[in-house]
Amino acid sequence: MFEKFLIPGVDGAVSDAREVFALLSVLFLSNWVYSIGVALLATLGGPYDSLITTGIMHLSAVPLAWFMLSFFKKKLKEIRL
């Protein structure tokens, strides 16, 4: 049904296309609080081995991606001015 990507060198680490969509969603979110909701949905969305480690990974990666994107947007605005 879904493609799984095995991560070499990390035992038990599996990813799929839902990870990509969760990270791409930060392009469309206006506030970082919404990224927590996206991270929770991504955590609950798949048949992962450990819900706790998956939740920690998503709850840190998606908001961090939002903050990084907003940081780079601000820097680009400063450069253009």
| Domains: count for the chain | 1
Nearest-5° Cα angle at 76, 69 to 78:
125
pTM of the predicted model over 0.85: no
Residue 17 is predicted with a pLDDT of 75
Q: Rounded to whole angstroms, how far apart are CA atoms 18 and 50?
A: 16
Domain ranges, residue 72: 4-80
pLDDT of residue 6: 66
- Tokens 């990870």 sit at which residue? 19
Radius of gyration of the chain (CA): 15
The whole-number mean pLDDT for each consecutive block of 10 residues of the chain, a chain of 81 residues, reads 66 72 91 93 78 86 94 92 67
